[in-house]
Structure 1
């Protein structure tokens, strides 16, 4: 897998975190580099750790199912992508507003709140890590790409959410899902010898 393909997967995978970051930004009366950085760090770290866990789980079973690894990658990427597209159709951030303070309850950036959000948005990355094991991807480069891209896009998402509102949340999830589905097709077709991309 080339660095460009790895980058594309990282972008697609980070769209869930980006969408939630948009919601975070929407719930903030005022944003700062510090707040955006906290959101970015949580999502970036979790999105790096989860594929690493998935990778080591995948390595344990790699030799037993090598003959069908491309089908597994295709199914996992497709499932994650379809789930993201379905979520994009809901188009809501689920923000509750406190009528007295006029602040969104999602603004809280404490460890418990952010860890739950980061874990929820990084479950998909666990499955991606499993596919990385089957595709013999350089896991160090992969998790670095995913973590850095997620960190940057999450910070941007906070700003976009604060300025423009929730309109970009559903679009981000839809695009991210579409990217992952297309990458799944590319992996499957390449292994079947129908197309060859490097």
Structure 2
């Protein structure tokens, strides 16, 4: 396979791994909070950093951890996304004032969500050598793909927001919970 084909395969992997981060950023943007450009760029960079770093950690720590991260990682991701989803649903049901903040992807919620959505990238780490590119370049490509796709999703969601913030909060919370369930169901414990 040529280097170009390896890169295209790696971009496909990056897009697949980015799907969770894109879904979470889309849900957060639709949930009632209208992020500024700087906040969207920061969130996209954090998601990209986690997605790009985790494969390297997976590559180096896979032998030490064995299957433990596969057994417990899905549960951790599920709990984090369930909590964020329930919070968003609570707000969408009118349990906060109309000026309620929705789900903010800043601070600890951003870091915990980036961690939860990057556990798949940790599991993908041992596959990096099979792409025929240096592992650092492969991880950087995954991170940049996630950053770009997440930013595009947030910008698009910001412009899609029409109508009631309540409806978007309900949709965003449901999406977060569904994503947590997806992660849990795709990674059953062994």
In the superposition, the TM-score normalised over structure 2's length comes to 0.62
Do structure 1's residue 18 and structure 2's residue 26 form an aligned pair?
Answer: yes
Q: Secondary structure at the match of 2:188?
A: helix
Deviation of 1:14 after TM superposition, in Å, equals 3.4
Paired with 1:72 and 1:156, the residues of 2 have a C-alpha distance of: 33
**Of 111, 114, 121, which residue of structure 1 is paired with 2:110?**
121
Aligned match of 1:159? 159
Deviation of 1:155 after TM superposition, in Å, equals 0.7
Aligned match of 1:76? 76
In the superposition, the TM-score normalised over structure 1's length comes to 0.60
Per-residue CA deviations over 1:64-121 (Å, capped at 9, x if unaligned) read 2213232133222322332233223213596886xxxxxx9x7xxxxxxx9x726632
Do structure 1's residue 181 and structure 2's residue 181 form an aligned pair?
Answer: yes
Deviation of 1:42 after TM superposition, in Å, equals 2.3
Paired with 2:118 and 2:155, the residues of 1 have a C-alpha distance of: 24
Q: How many residues align?
A: 165
Structure 2 residues not aligned, in runs of 5+: 1-9, 129-138
Deviation of 1:177 after TM superposition, in Å, equals 2.9
Distance 1:53 1:91, change over 3 A: same
Per-residue CA deviations over 1:31-75 (Å, capped at 9, x if unaligned) read xxxx5x544322211211234455555555432221323213322
Paired with 1:4 and 1:184, the residues of 2 have a C-alpha distance of: 22
The Cα RMSD (Å) is 3.8
Distance 1:89 1:119, change over 3 A: same
Deviation of 1:128 after TM superposition, in Å, equals 3.8
2:55·2:124 contact (CA, 8 Å) conserved in 1?
no
